[in-house]
Structure 1
Amino acid sequence: MKWSRDRPRTGEPGEKWAYSNTDYTVLGMIVERLTGHDLATELHARLFGPLGMTKTYLRVKPPEGIKGPHGHGYYPDADGMLRDVDRFNASLGGAGAGGVVSTAHDVSAFHRAFTQGKLLPPELQRVLTDRLPAAPRARGEARGGCADGFSLTGGLAPGSTAVTMFPCRSEE
């Protein structure tokens, strides 16, 4: 992660939010250092297994493709030809590059556990949820990434996009 030290900051700590794969990659490295296990093992033991996410896993063996029946993603190569990128393995970038494969059912199990307070201790849950944008006052009003009482989160990799919608916290 030496290269990341030379990158300019997006702001002062706590000033604003910006997504960074580097942050997640570093967190994955910390998990591995503290536990002595690879991240895939820890995710399964501490998250996927206990939540019953039976079709969710972290791909770790390039060029391991997605297990079982699934849609294939396509991405243009340098000549503009669409190529099947099923075997594209984002795990090369560590924990932050989107290497987890899941299903809609399993993602729902994760979000259900999160919103019901079953995933984190209350003080950690508040650290995350207190930063969610407030729900808009009028239907259709978009403010702070929240519209019609819902916010979107997601990610993408060559040939695929994942989006999850969740309720925003209410105005106080």
Structure 2
Amino acid sequence: MRIAVSHPPTFTPGSGWAYSNTNYVLAGMIIERATGRALAEEITERICRPLGLTGTYLPHGSDPTIHGPHSRHYTKLFRTDPGAPVHDATELDSSMFWAAGGMISTAGDLNRFFGALLGGRILPPDQQHDMFTTVPTRDWISNAAYGLGVSSVRLPCGETVWGMGGALFGSWSYSYGAHGGEQMVTANVNGDWGGGGWDDPIGVFTDLLQAKFCGRSGT
């Protein structure tokens, strides 16, 4: 946080939009200050156990391992040249990302969590309304809007899906579905590059969402 606030604001409040990991770090700090407990414990007690998310946890300390069955994760460290070396990033100390992206989960758990979140089974109505109040994004996912921790994406066929995506070295995950959480699609790609740049997996996920919510023809 000290590093973040040492820089001038990118824009005045309410006049723009930019994705910021710092906001999630601040949220984690607030949770720990308000509860007097570690963020990992609060996530387990308030979210994972009630929803039966047995494969989801925030690692303690600098544990670099992934508990349970998992794929290998490969990264080119965001280099776009075809000859860039591929690194195995399966064992990774994610503590530096903490509340902004250090969690470990499974596709099944993500499906269940977002289904419950979008379906109103986690937050009270007023907070649910605030979460779905969005602003247009820029230089991010195409045709997206962003709320409080969730985003909406308008697919090429005109359907709008809700959820969130995230990436860490060697791993891309996407979980989006209908506004009420009745139908969800969650997928993970265990590499962070493609022919057109480091964000190529987004195109893969968009195709999956279109196949699910727009039908075979994409219309």
Percentage identity across paired residues of the two chains: 35
Partner of 1:106: 109
After TM superposition, give the deviation of residue 122 of structure 1 in Å.
Answer: 0.4
**Unmatched segments (≥5 aa) in structure 2:** 137-142, 146-152, 181-219
- 1:15-164 mapped onto 2 (5 Å cutoff): 15-76=15-76, 80-96=84-100, 98-131=101-134, 145-147=153-155, 148-151=158-161, 153-164=164-175
Kept in 2, the 8 Å contact 1:85–1:158? The answer is yes
Contact 1:54 1:106 in 2 (8 A): yes
Measure how far apart 1:114 and its partner are: 1.3
Structure 1 residues not aligned, in runs of 5+: 134-141
- Taking the aligned partners of 1:143 and 1:45, their CA distance within structure 2 comes to 32
Shift in Å, 1:132 = 7.2
Find the aligned partners of 2:35 and 2:2 in 1 and give their Cα distance: 23
Instruction: Give distance in 2, aligned partners of 1:132 and 1:49.
Output: 32
CA offsets, 1:138-157, max 9 Å, x none?
xxxx5754113134631111
1:76-132 CA deviation, whole Å, 9 max, x = no partner?
A: 379943222111122223311x11111111111111111221110100000011327
Structure 1 residues 70 and 17: CA distance shift in structure 2, 3 A: same
The match for 2:198 is: none
What RMSD in Å do the two structures reach over aligned CA positions?
Answer: 2.5
Moved more, 78-87 or 1-10: 78-87
TM-score between both structures, scaled by the size of structure 1 = 0.81
CA contact (8 A) 1:153 1:163 kept: yes
Note closer, same or farther for the CA distance 1:29–1:37 as it changes in structure 2 (3 Å cut). same
Match of 2:139 in 1: none
- CA displacement, residues 15-66 of structure 1 (integer Å, 9 cap, x when unaligned): 3332211110111111111211111101000111111111100122324211
Contact in 2 for aligned 1:59/1:89 (Cα 8 Å)? no
Runs of 4+ in 1 over 3 A off after TM superposition: 76-81, 142-145
Which whole-Å CA distance do the structure 1 matches of 2:164 and 2:72 have between them? 22
Q: Which amino acid aligns with 1:45?
A: E
The 1:44/1:150 distance shift into structure 2, 3 A limit, reads same
Per mean C-alpha deviation after superposition, the further-off stretch among 43-52 and 74-83 is: 74-83
Cα 1:156/1:113, change in 2 over 3 Å: same
- Whether the 8 Å CA contact 1:55–1:106 is kept in 2: the answer is yes
Count of residue pairs the alignment pairs up: 160
